[in-house]
Amino acid sequence: MAQRLVRILCPHCKKEVEASNLSGTDVSLPPDITIVAQPVGCPQCFYTGYRGRRAIYEVVPVTSEIAQLINEPEGTMDTLFKKYQIMLLKDAALNLLRKKETGLDEVFTYL
Ligand SMILES: [Zn+2]
């Protein structure tokens, strides 16, 4: 199990932008994410653009099938994660981005 805390955008000042318009966006987002919310800053959030955090987590059951691949290179288990519909940190972070609760800056590290 792994858990991280992701900063949540301030609901008072976040603004929505086209993901393709963001400079430095060299990661490929899922095609359904075209609009993302970005931090701005206001008195409510002490001009940080963020207000609060939310835990995201992943739980990977170590089945014999997965155990055999633990020492293999990163990415080897991806098809198994899909097969068993295991939600990884990346998926949880993208869900928060999709719901415009966090910004791209918070999600980059998981992509
Ligand atoms: Zn704010």
- List pLDDT tens digits, range 22-66: 766 566 788 899 999 999 999 999 999 999 999 999 998 888 888
Q: What is the mean pLDDT of residues 81-88?
A: 89
Can you spell out the DSSP letters for 20-87? GGSTT--SPPPTT--EEEE----GGGTTSSEEEEEEEEE-----HHHHTTTTSPTTTTHHHHHHTTPP
Task: Determine the distance separating the centroid of ligand 1 and the alpha carbon of 72, expressed in angstroms.
Answer: 44
Output the pTM of the full model: 0.84
Q: What is the spatial distance between Cα 8 and Cα 11, in angstroms, rounded to a whole number?
A: 9
Task: Determine the distance separating the centroid of ligand 1 and the alpha carbon of 104, expressed in angstroms.
Answer: 16
Task: Determine the distance separating the centroid of ligand 1 and the alpha carbon of 18, expressed in angstroms.
Answer: 20
Please state the domain extents for the chain. Answer: 2-110
Q: Does domain 2-110 have CATH number 3.40.50.300?
A: yes
Q: What pLDDT is recorded for position 24?
A: 61
Contact (CB, 8 A) for 80 and 47: no
